[in-house]
Amino acid sequence: MSIDAAPDPDAPAPREIYRDPVYDGATDPVVVQDADGWWMFYTQRRATRPHPGDGVAWVHGSRIGVARSDDGLRWGYAGTLEPDAAGLRLEEGPPPGAVGETHWAPEIIHDGALWRMYLTEIDGIPTRWEGHPRRIVEYASDDLRAWTRRAPLELASDRVIDAAVARCPDGRWRLWYKDEAAGSTTAVVVSDDLASWRLDGTAVGGRPHEGAFAFALEDSWFLLTDEWRGMAVYRSHDAVTWERQGGPDAVILGEAGAPRDGIQIGRHGSVVVTGDEARLYYFTHPWWDGSELADVDEPSHRRSAVHVARLRVIDGALVAER
Q: Please state the three-class secondary structure of 63-116 as a single string.
A: EEEEEEECCCCCEEEEEEEEECCCEEEEECCCCCCCCCEEEEEEEEEECCCCEE
Element (H, E) at 299: helix 299-302
> Cα(98)–Cα(177) distance, rounded to whole angstroms?
29
Altogether, the residues listed in the chain come to a count of 322
> Cα(59)–Cα(104) distance, rounded to whole angstroms?
9
Rg (CA), the chain: 18
Whether the CB-CB separation of 87 and 149 falls below 8 Å is answered with yes
Tens digit of each residue's pLDDT (9 = 90 or more) over 214-247: 999 999 999 999 999 999 999 999 999 999 999 9
pTM of the model: 0.95
Closest CA to 212 of 225, 228, 230, 229: 225
Closest CA to 106 of 124, 87, 132: 87
* Bridge partner residues of 196 (DSSP): none
* Bridge partner residues of 317 (DSSP): 314
Whether the CB-CB separation of 47 and 23 falls below 8 Å is answered with yes
Task: Provide the pLDDT for residue 9.
Answer: 74
CA distances from residue 314 to 180, 246, 318 in whole angstroms, order as listed: 34, 13, 6
C-alpha 281: how far from chain center:
9
Label residues 283-306 b or e (16+ Cβ within 10 Å = b).
Answer: bbbbbbeeeebeebeebbbbbbbb
User: pLDDT below 50 — which residues of the chain?
Assistant: 1-4, 52
Tens digit of each residue's pLDDT (9 = 90 or more) over 61-88: 999 999 999 999 999 999 999 999 999 9
> Cα(249)–Cα(215) distance, rounded to whole angstroms?
22
> Cα(266)–Cα(248) distance, rounded to whole angstroms?
18
Domains of the chain by range and CATH?
26-321 (2.115.10.20)
Q: Are strands 305-314 and 277-284 parallel, antiparallel or unpaired?
A: antiparallel
Task: Provide the pLDDT for residue 52.
Answer: 47
Closest CA to 157 of 177, 172, 173: 177
DSSP state of 252: B
